[in-house]
């Protein structure tokens, strides 16, 4: 059976609010990936020209008239995605050359795998002052554990595990991993640095650290409760 070229389409979903500072570089790096793709920017009620920048670069743009949060923006992006493969990407990170092709080929060659996970590498945004840079701590080694630009997922995975929990503001990666485990869906880790994670004063993870800890604790308690009922 001949494979339709659109079967290979990768949908890159970028949830963003007020991202005009860095989205240029993020989009240029994605656009340069030599593979069939679409870029969906979900603008979460920005007050700047994020949407205009994305439109000028040929992206599909959905603009929320009220702020909905990162998890719900991912769900909105999923509803508009035409591809069979999904990647979530932050507006301030930079994907490395050939990342999409490498991750896609891994899924193509392993039909029993629902997602492939690669590593991120921190970098401190170069325009920051020396004083600002000293406040940021970049990890010395590449690491797993974040969505942005590092995980490629079969879209049908979400038909099985459902959408993101919009009540979770910062723990979406943990929520996703727990759902994958509960449905016994296989993932594979690659020893690949897929993208560069920009550190700056307004990183979502830095500004909402307390919410992140609360979300992690809540998700782990819910998972323990579910496991105890099943045992």
Q: Is residue 91 part of a domain?
A: yes
Q: Is residue 51 part of a domain?
A: yes
> Tens place of pLDDT for every residue, the chain, 231 residues?
445 667 899 999 999 999 999 999 999 999 999 999 999 999 999 999 999 999 999 999 999 999 999 999 999 999 999 999 999 999 999 999 999 999 999 999 999 999 999 999 999 999 898 888 888 888 999 999 888 899 999 999 999 999 998 887 777 888 899 999 999 999 999 999 999 999 987 764 544 445 544 544 454 454 544 444 444
Residue 152 has what pLDDT? 98
Distance from C-alpha of 146 to C-alpha of 173, rounded to nearest angstrom: 6
CATH classification of the domain holding 12: 3.90.550.10
Compute how many other C-beta atoms are within 10 angstroms of the C-beta atom of residue 125.
17
Q: How far is CA 194 from CA 115, 120, 145, 220, 225, in A?
A: 14, 6, 12, 28, 35
Q: Is residue 205 part of a domain?
A: yes
- Sheet holding 85-88: strands in order across? 60-63, 37-43, 10-16, 85-88, 151-154, 113-124, 186-199, 94-95
Residue 133 contacts residue 203 (beta carbons within 8 Å): no
Residue 164 contacts residue 180 (beta carbons within 8 Å): no
Pairing assessment for the beta strands 151-154 and 113-124 based on DSSP bridges: antiparallel
pTM confidence score: 0.87
Residue 113 contacts residue 187 (beta carbons within 8 Å): yes
Joined together, the tokens standing for residue 196 give 């560069």
Q: Given the structure tokens 């493969």, which residue do they identify? A: 85
Those residues with Cβ within 8 angstroms of residue 176's Cβ, 6 or more apart along the chain or in another chain: 147, 161, 164
**Domain housing 11:** 5-226
Pairing assessment for the beta strands 60-63 and 85-88 based on DSSP bridges: unpaired
Residue 203 has what pLDDT? 62
Residue 179 has what pLDDT? 94
Residue 226 has what pLDDT? 46
The conformation of residue 1, written as its DSSP 8-state character, comes to -
Q: How far is CA 192 from CA 95, 114, 182, in A?
A: 12, 18, 26
Distance from C-alpha of 149 to C-alpha of 94, rounded to nearest angstrom: 8
Residue 212 has what pLDDT? 47
Q: Is residue 86 part of a domain?
A: yes
Q: Could you give the percent of the chain with pLDDT greater than 90? A: 70
Those residues with Cβ within 8 angstroms of residue 230's Cβ, 6 or more apart along the chain or in another chain: none
Q: Is residue 52 part of a domain?
A: yes
For the chain, how many structural domains are there in total?
A: 1
Q: What is the pLDDT of residues 178-204, one digit of tens each?
A: 999 999 999 999 999 999 999 987 764
Q: Is residue 231 part of a domain?
A: no
Q: Is residue 119 part of a domain?
A: yes
For the chain, how long is the longest CA-to-CA vector? Answer: 60
Q: Is residue 147 part of a domain?
A: yes
């Amino acid at each position: 059976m001949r494979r339709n070229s659109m079967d290979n389409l990768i949908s890159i979903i970028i949830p963003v609010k007020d991202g005009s500072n860095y989205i240029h570089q993020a989009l240029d790096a994605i656009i340069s990936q030599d593979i069939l793709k679409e870029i969906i920017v979900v603008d979460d009620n920005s007050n700047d020209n994020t949407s205009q920048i994305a439109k000028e670069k040929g992206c599909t743009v959905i603009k929320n008239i009220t702020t909905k949060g990162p998890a719900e923006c991912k769900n909105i992006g999923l509803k508009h995605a035409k591809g069979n493969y999904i990647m979530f990407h932050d507006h301030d990170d930079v994907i490395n050359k050939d990342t999409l092709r490498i991750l896609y080929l891994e899924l193509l060659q392993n039909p029993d795998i629902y997602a492939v996970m690669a590593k991120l590498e921190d970098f401190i945004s170069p325009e920051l002052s020396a004083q600002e840079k000293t406040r940021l701590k970049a990890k010395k080694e590449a690491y797993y554990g974040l969505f942005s630009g590092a995980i490629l997922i079969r879209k049908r995975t979400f038909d099985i595990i459902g959408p993101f929990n919009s009540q979770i503001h910062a723990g979406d990666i943990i929520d996703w991993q727990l759902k994958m485990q509960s449905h016994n869906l296989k993932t594979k880790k690659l020893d690949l640095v897929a993208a560069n994670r920009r550190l700056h004063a307004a990183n979502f993870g830095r500004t909402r650290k307390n919410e992140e800890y609360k979300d992690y604790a809540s998700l782990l308690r819910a998972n323990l409760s579910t496991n105890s009922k099943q045992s």
